[in-house]
Structure 1
Amino acid sequence: MASGDDDDPIIEEIDVYLAKSLAEKLYLLQYPVRPSTMTYGDINLLAAKVKPKQQRVELQMAMDTTSPNYCRSKGEQIALNVDGTGYEENNTYSVKMMDNQSFSSIQATTNTSRYAAAIFRKGELHVTPLTGILQMRPSFTYLDKADSKTREREAANEGGDSSQDEGEEEAKAISVRFARPESEQARQRRIQSYEFLQKKQAEEPWIHLQHHNVKDERSEHERQYLFCQNVDASDNSELVKTPKEYLTMLMPPPAEEKFVKPIGPSNVLSMAQLRTFPLGEQIKTLMKNVKVIQFASLMGLLASGTDSTAVLRCIQQVALLVQGNWVVKSDVLYPKNTCSPHSGVPADLLCRGRDFVMWRFTLERSLMRKEVAAVIKLPPEDVKDFLEQVAVPRVNRGWEFLLPADADFVKKHADVAHRQHMLWTGIQSKLEKVFNFSKADFLPKNSPQPDPVHISGEQRLKLAQDRAQEKQASFQKDLDAKRAGSGGARIKQEPLSDGEAEPMDTSSPSPSRSGIPNGAVNGYAGAEHANGGSPATAASPELLDFVTKTFRKNPVLTLNELKRLMSLHLATMPAGHMPFGPVSDHILQDAVLLSRCKQIMVPFPALTTASADIQKVFGLWETGEDCDKQRRLLYDMFTKTYRLKRTALHARLNEEFGNVAKADVDRLLKECCISNAGMWYLKGTTQS
């Protein structure tokens, strides 16, 4: 013994043994919300269960309802909210009073390698490693169940409030989203999301346990496993570490943690980090964030000493000039092969619609959203998004451009303004072809009229001849195409200009002679069947193809939803191209029935607020797949009730088709139904 250890003599030596019998099963339970003087040792534990992989424990303990500290009226109210007035086997509180309390665990630490449970006996210390340290806290899942019961009661009584909504028939816009392939980055975010982790945790089944009090014989028997069973075994070797090594093992030095720079939100822009980018990338990033800015403000955001000429050269690559201000280009905000986050509309349609909005702002200060939506025919969410980027709403004035006109910039940089004007002229010509309008349609009434253009007689004659030749060639092409498509149907001919030859009429008699007026039916303008001379009343092949493909993607649709999807489909078509023309509800329903679908006669409540188009529900009847029978059974159940429970459907499927897997039931419900307040409704039949 060294001379320095004289002041710290060894009093006693204790043998330490490592017990492994409970090494994989020993948990330390802590109750941080309970004083140490108030233990749960004398409280009756009703149930216990564990998920070993997740180290989750749940305990259900009885409450002393006779205690003077217990509020009986409050306990009865909680039981009523959770279980309702009925008596069922799965009620949380069987005595109509809150008589038990649940505790759920969370991990106090994920690394328990430095923690152990020790027991001392006869000069020997026996140590058992801990599997987990869990903190038990009260669980309030009964409140979630009470909220669910409340929503169910509100859904059951939803018909009683219909009188309050009478007269409110304002149309509500419904957005549609189209799913796109999941990228690797999106997949990683989904895997790390809270919803995904909750789903993975729910997959592990609970293992129910039997609880024994501290003084039970079984508990005393299990405590014997805390002692090392083979104290004389050769594997219990002595500790051969030096005192310094032993202290290092007990208290390892803190590891140097690398400083990780926090990642900010994607919509937060660091100016210090921005200025490390090239000038072009700086301007592009700024414009994507601000959307619209004056040139002087842009120069203020850039580093001092930045050349304004270089900035002008870069800004013209990512922005356009509107009223002397710079507005980011549409293809910068909506790159190719992307889609709207609101409605799923492709990027090319978004760029076209947004360019129209910006072009209109080059003509006037304010726009009306209804006028814009009537031209570009995009979902209301996207139209509002376009306007919010560059304008602000004004009372009784529509949407006004966000910034005042910058006349100083236009005057100082006349060459840039002229170049931008030429760009807008080209954009305008493209928009006129796409949306079929003229610039004069949007010019204000008090705007200056252009000077008249004088054309000589020879020029007028040559223009008339060229126009006549182009019109004749276009008419002959349309005539040949429509004859081939309508089986010899007669096309209503427009008056020909002077010098044009009238084509020979080789079709059937005109409808005026047979007493049937001309009209546009299903996209065949003024056409009749060659065999009867009556207008086409059957669904066109294009309409049948659209309906068939739509029901393949959505097996259950209301008439209202089908009409909305058809309108959205038509909005994506080029201007002037109508694949199946105007379609009445009668023709659309005929097309549905011809596409292997049938109407589901859902017995809606007598006081339902659903419109007539919503109450007309159609379902895909036959696809040739094995799941057709299960789908038809689901439709049959919905002819008896407008909502049902999942357990009822599963029981009926098992009764008809044997043991049906849970995954098949989930797939069937996901395809055809939507969940609300614990009940399942056919898609489109609930307005919640």
Structure 2
Amino acid sequence: MATEDDDPIIQEIDVHLATSLAEKLYLFQYPVRPATMKYDDVTHLSARIKPKQQKVEVEMAIDTLSPNYCRSKGEQIALNVDGTSTDDSGSTYTTKHMDKQIFSSIQSAVNTSRFAAAIYRKGELHVTPLHGMLQMRPSFSYLDKADAKHREREAANEAGDSSQDEAEDDVKQITVRFSRPESEQARQRRIQSYEFLQKKQAEEPWHYLHYCGVKDSRSEHERQYLFSQLAGMVETSELTKSPSEYLSMLMPPIEEEELKVPLAPSNVLSMTQLRTLPLADQVRTLMKNVKVVQFANLMGLLGSGVDHTAVLRCIQQVAMLVQGCWLVKSDVLYPKDTCSPHSGVAAEVLCRGRDFVMWKFTQDLWVIRKEVAAVIKLPPEDVKDFLEQMAVPRVNKGWEFLLPHDSKFVKKHPDVVQRQHMLWMGIQAKLEKVYNLSKEDMMPKKRDSQPAVPVVLSGERRVATAKERARENHATLENDHRRRRPGAGAEPQTSGNSLLAIKIKEEPLSEDEPMDTWPGRRAANGIHSDESSRDSVEERLAARSQGDQAKQVAAELRAFVLGTLRKHYVLSLSELKRLFNLHLASLPPGHILFSGISDRMLQEIVLDCGCKQILVPFPPQTTASADEQKIFALWEAGDAFDQHRQILLEIFSKNYRVRRNVIQSKLCHDVGENLSKPDVDKVLKDCCASHGGMWYLKGTLPS
């Protein structure tokens, strides 16, 4: 088996768990310092720690004799911080120049249960869990002291000037106010505020430490605790856990980690912590923070490797489509049983008012604040809060939607746009009933008829609008050029629609259709011009154009499927859809494949191209989706390996994973000749992938 295995075992190493320093071991990182410039030879003056917060401060000396040290600047900084006082007891720099700096820590990882320090010795690997990972950065607290000194001097000068004009026995009136009882909601907001967290952190006392250098004997003694003290004393047994239990031990469930995450201010979003959440929670958290975003930018925030379809499914649960962009839903920002932070209005009323503002932006790029306030009848602070979340004010114009219209998303996802349109129709009916609005109030107003200042689009919007119109005009001209035929005479003039006359002229008569029976020709000659004739001509032309378009779509789709399968040979339906989406992204705007391709149409084209669906017997506990379990393979590629690939595919119709020696013996038996190793590798590389010494069909490899 060693010769057949693609990944042989080279060496086995015993791993020991050392726990002597498990609750004391920290990893220090210096992100602003190159790895070649260590602090081992720098004099460490002091060190202190707050264990609960895992906050460390280290004071290091600065080489004032270095040619790179500016002595005048150092003296100026010391003068600004300590002033001209001769008392050295409370001074930061006793030498009257800046001769030290302080490094303060921040946590680089909230949960360090998955990290450890390892040391290798005599064929054994000793692993010690990390208690914390800290990034040490220079602290500039001395600048705060300098600013405080400056303010004290200014206050003293002002007090000295004003005391000359005031009497010493001035009587001042004192107003006494009694605070109301604090509500539960106010208490929760106060607890989660940044000031409260800063106060709680300041209450923990510092514990001063003694620093030992790397080469110090005490450091060498402590490093011995990185080795397991029980190594070689206890006979260890083999692992008896199942694979799923072992993975659970290595990767604890996310729910357990969330309990250890400390509370953070509501306006702080950690991208590192965000990536540990499920995809739905990531999308929800991002939308609560950004409020409005284009779909392409949202995919960029989520990072690479995220499924496009899954994100699209999640975003529709927490946001609505406005101007082609995604705007967070009102009930996400204002959950049930909450109230406005400005006026105390209930969340239900806030959601209705905000939905009305969102709906107004679906009708127009501009919204007038007074018109909105007159309808929803909410306090001005809440109305302004709604508008600031999704728009920007323009002088003498109103509030303009925050982002430009995302036409790319609208063209690429017409099904999502249609679904969102139906949702907005339901919201519109609800708003009409709640606010007693008439049909005229719900219709978008024409700004040309208003006496206000005309709307002037920004420069970016003008460029985007001009480009969009240019694309539409170019597409229209191309379509007209295709439909025009050489040798056409003058266009017939009728009393009806001129566009109808042009369409009638562009379509030639069929050979089995007499001239006097064609309604379009009669209308062109003035014989017959009723509405039924005109409708029948348009329907006939539309049916013919749709048939031509369907043939062209099928041809384009067939070319893509054949080209893709000749390159990959075996694909799952989900992978084929992903490659097709990438192909669509590379096409120019207005391409015929943007008309909408359904999954059923894609599967029919695949089967029509000479491909076959391989019914791979997936294991019962598989987590693959229905699209991932549909495996298609190119049955005949027209080369010398067609028979070999067909035998291989028949093997995988009985088992979802096979060893290489089984495949090779089956190929040699059925083909009737001894295949060389390069030929077997060619067939396996075309259709399969290797994992753990076993071979799987492409698309069935376990994650």
TM over 0.5: no
Larger relative contact order, structure 1 or 2 (CA cutoff 8 Å, min sep 6): 1
Q: Which has the higher helix share?
A: 2
